[in-house]
């Protein structure tokens, strides 16, 4: 085996002085190495989101030359205490168990008795004796006065930045071992003060926002500012902002005349069209929340969602298609409700507060029963305004709306466009999965904003590469922003789309959940060239992101866990 010194570019080390653990050792009559190993197991399990650790344990006394090597298997159960883990390790060390050559170790633990610092050349021979070395070793050099701990790691397997976070947590856990001794391992917090400070700074996203307006207030303001500008582009008709405002007022007055209970959502079971967009805006103006549903969904799903939501009114493309609907739900045909009304156009619509619900969207139910997510005007506007500012959306922008109304990406496509004064371009329902139609619309309508899940963009690129190969050159696509979210993002995707777009085009990776008002986190990946997974980025405006373990305990940077979202955007 090569000397570690000759692998200096591959191996790095982090040193630390162990804090006093004499209280634990003296009071509970345990071995120092067992305690240090147990703390390391707890930290490693937290970082890697595992509950079982295998490691090779080697003990050497430099005076006698005695060497002992065994493999330990520690299972970290959610209810077990740190003290119980120490006892388990001590029992394993006392056993004559032989290392299992079939089991790969998570790390190696080497304990030296009375070895001076200049004798670290002994590390080489010891690592050679470790049967399952996996690129990570703890080296304990114990004396009566102190124990120096060194973490040796293979940077190809354990990135340096991650090891610095792990060592920081380990140092903190050692210093707090007397507090953790009789605490369940699942409840131990391994975030150091330094890491907490970093997380707090990372989550410094608070900024003044529009806490008074509703979505339709902002759309009306835009309509007054540029009434003759195009708001909606569809195959059958283009709608100006003045028409959008007028038609949605008609819808709102009709709903108010029907004395619709605004405490319940109004279902919209319709394909995406200029009429359905007008309906959404009209429902909000009437003070209710819209519940978008895909008419192609199974009738039983539609019926169950409408029943669970409490909706008593459904606006539909065609009443005969809704024969399965409960008699308790009133049906209105979409086209009829937009027709000119006979009401006094000076009639004042009821005021709507910003904390009232704007929409109710049901999740897909892929992980269980679909659940409804209710989003207020204030929450949705916080995200919409953030994105409009980031993208510098303006009246010259065109957004190709690819997402169904019951997918929350459509909320930004529609209302982000309306609020910024741009135009939303609608596909025919038959073209919703047709990349040729997307390509033609991108060129014809000079689309500047693409917003979709990664799979749809890959479908477009595959079409261009195979059918429109002559278009495979810069500036083919007029896009200036590509927004990707909703699924795992292939690292090569930014590079592939940027080859076809203008030099000014940028790519933004976004994430979050339906419960978080469209998106909660974003990362500009325009210059991403790594083959590694694309990182999530930073929280959006007035939102915060933390990582927690399965027991709800916060985790330090670099740890694997569940994402927790907080802030104004929450449902």
* pLDDT digit string, tens, across residues 276-303: 999 999 999 999 999 999 999 999 999 9
Q: What is the pLDDT of residue 328?
A: 87
**Whether pLDDT at 23 is above 60:** yes
| For residues 205-222, average pLDDT | 96
pLDDT at 65 (0 to 100): 52
DSSP reduced 3-state for 58: strand
Record the pTM.
0.87
* CB atoms inside a 10 Å sphere around CB 344: 8
**Residue 410 above 90 pLDDT?**
yes
Q: Summarize the confidence of residues 483-507 as an average pLDDT.
A: 91
pLDDT at 116 over 60: no
User: For the chain, what is the mean pLDDT?
Assistant: 83
The per-type count for the chain, helices as H runs and strands as E runs, is: 18, 23
268 pLDDT tier (thresholds 50, 70, 90)? very high
Of 484, 445, 481, the residue nearest 232 (C-alpha):
445
pLDDT at 9 over 50: no
The residues with which 438 forms a beta bridge, in sequence order, are none
Which of 72, 69, 149, 70 has the alpha carbon at shortest distance from 115? 149
Give yes or no for residue 4 having a pLDDT over 50.
no
Residue 129 has what pLDDT?
57
DSSP code for 8: T
Cα–Cα distance list, 418 to 54, 62, 227, 346, 514 (Å)? 57, 75, 12, 24, 21
pLDDT of residue 3: 32
So what's the pLDDT on residue 53? 73
Q: How far, in Å, are 18, 60, 173, 388 from residue 21 at the CA level?
A: 8, 21, 11, 54
Is the per-residue pLDDT at 102 higher than 80?
Answer: no
Instruction: Provide mean pLDDT across the span 348-352.
Output: 85
Residue 58: band (very low, low, confident or very high) from pLDDT cuts 50, 70, 90: low
Q: Name the more confident of 99 and 123.
A: 123
Mean of the pLDDT values across residues 488-493?
89
Whole-number pLDDT of residue 49: 84
Percentage of residues of the chain with pLDDT beyond 90: 48
Q: How confident is the model at residue 223 (pLDDT cuts 50, 70, 90)?
A: very high
Angle between helices 160-175 and 193-202 (to 10 degrees): 130
Model confidence at 146: pLDDT above 80: no
pLDDT at 98 over 60: no
**Structural contact between residues 354 and 376, judged by C-beta atoms closer than 8 angstroms:** yes
Residue 418 or 22, more confident: 418
| Residue 175 binned pLDDT confidence (cut-offs 50, 70, 90) | confident
Higher pLDDT, 92 or 343: 92
Higher pLDDT, 139 or 209: 209
Residue, of 373 and 109, whose pLDDT is higher: 373
The pLDDT, as a whole number, for residue 458 is 95
For 174, 273, 314, 334, 566, the CA distances from 425, given in Å and listed in that order, are: 59, 10, 25, 20, 33
Q: Where does residue 137 fall: left (phi above 0), alpha (psi -120 to 50 degrees), or beta otherwise?
A: beta
Q: Euclidean distance between the first and final Cα of the chain, in Å?
A: 58
Residue 110 pairs in a beta bridge with 58, 139
Secondary structure percentages of the chain, helix, strand, coil, to 5: 35, 20, 40
Contact predicate 136/157, CB 8 Å: yes
What's the confidence (pLDDT) of residue 311? 95
């Amino acid at each position: 085996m090569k000397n570690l010194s000759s692998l200096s570019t591959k191996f790095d080390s982090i040193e630390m002085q162990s804090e006093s653990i004499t209280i634990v050792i003296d009071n509970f009559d345990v071995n120092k190495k067992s305690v240090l190993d147990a703390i390391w197991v707890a930290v490693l399990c937290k970082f890697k989101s595992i509950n079982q650790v295998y490691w090779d344990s080697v003990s050497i006394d430099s005076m006698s030359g005695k060497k002992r090597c065994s493999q330990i298997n520690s299972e970290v159960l959610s209810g077990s205490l740190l003290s119980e883990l120490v006892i388990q390790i001590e029992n394993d060390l006392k056993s004559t168990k032989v290392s299992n050559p079939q089991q790969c170790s998570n790390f190696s633990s080497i304990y030296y008795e009375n070895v001076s610092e200049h004798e670290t050349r002994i590390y080489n021979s010891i690592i050679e004796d470790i049967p399952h070395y996996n690129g990570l070793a703890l080296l304990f050099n114990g004396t009566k006065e102190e124990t120096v701990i060194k973490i040796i790691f293979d940077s190809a397997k354990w990135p340096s930045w991650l090891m610095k976070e792990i060592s920081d947590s380990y140092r903190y856990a050692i210093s707090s071992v007397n507090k953790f001794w009789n605490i369940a391992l699942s409840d131990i917090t391994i975030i150091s003060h330094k890491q907490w400070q970093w997380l707090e700074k990372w989550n410094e996203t608070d900024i003044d926002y529009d806490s008074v307006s509703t979505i339709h207030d902002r759309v009306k303001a835009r309509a007054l500012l540029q009434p003759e500008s195009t708001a909606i582009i569809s195959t059958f008709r283009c709608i100006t902002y003045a028409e959008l405002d007028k038609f949605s007022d008609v819808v709102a007055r009709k709903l108010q005349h029907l004395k619709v209970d605004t405490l319940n959502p109004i279902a919209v079971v319709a394909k995406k069209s200029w009429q359905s967009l007008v309906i959404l805006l009209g429902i909000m103006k009437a003070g209710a929340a819209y519940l978008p549903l895909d008419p192609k969904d199974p009738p039983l799903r539609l019926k169950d969602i409408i029943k669970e939501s409490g909706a008593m009114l459904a606006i539909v493309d065609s009443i005969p298609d809704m024969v399965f609907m409960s008699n308790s739900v009133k049906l209105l045909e979409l086209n009829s409700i937009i027709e000119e009304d006979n009401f006094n156009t000076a009639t004042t619509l009821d005021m709507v507060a910003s904390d009232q619900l704007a929409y109710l969207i049901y999740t897909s139910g892929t992980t269980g029963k679909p659940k409804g997510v209710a989003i207020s005007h204030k929450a949705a506007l916080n995200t919409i305004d953030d994105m409009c500012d980031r993208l510098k959306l303006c009246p010259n922008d065109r957004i190709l709306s690819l997402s169904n109304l019951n997918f929350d990406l459509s909320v930004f496509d529609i209302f982000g466009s309306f609020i910024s004064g741009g135009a939303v371009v609608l596909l025919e329902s038959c073209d919703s999965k047709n990349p040729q139609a997307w390509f033609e619309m991108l060129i014809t309508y000079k689309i500047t904003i693409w917003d979709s899940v990664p799979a749809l963009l890959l479908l477009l690129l595959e079409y261009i590469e195979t059918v429109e190969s002559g278009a495979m050159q810069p500036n083919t696509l007029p896009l200036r922003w590509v927004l990707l979210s909703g699924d795992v993002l292939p690292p090569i995707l930014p590079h592939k789309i940027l080859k076809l777009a203008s030099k000014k085009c940028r790519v933004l990776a976004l994430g979050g959940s339906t419960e978080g008002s469209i998106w909660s986190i974003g990362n500009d990946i325009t210059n991403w060239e790594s083959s590694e997974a694309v990182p999530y980025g930073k929280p959006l405006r007035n939102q915060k992101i933390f990582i927690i373990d399965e027991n709800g305990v916060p985790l330090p940077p670099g740890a694997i866990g569940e994402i927790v979202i907080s802030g104004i955007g929450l449902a």
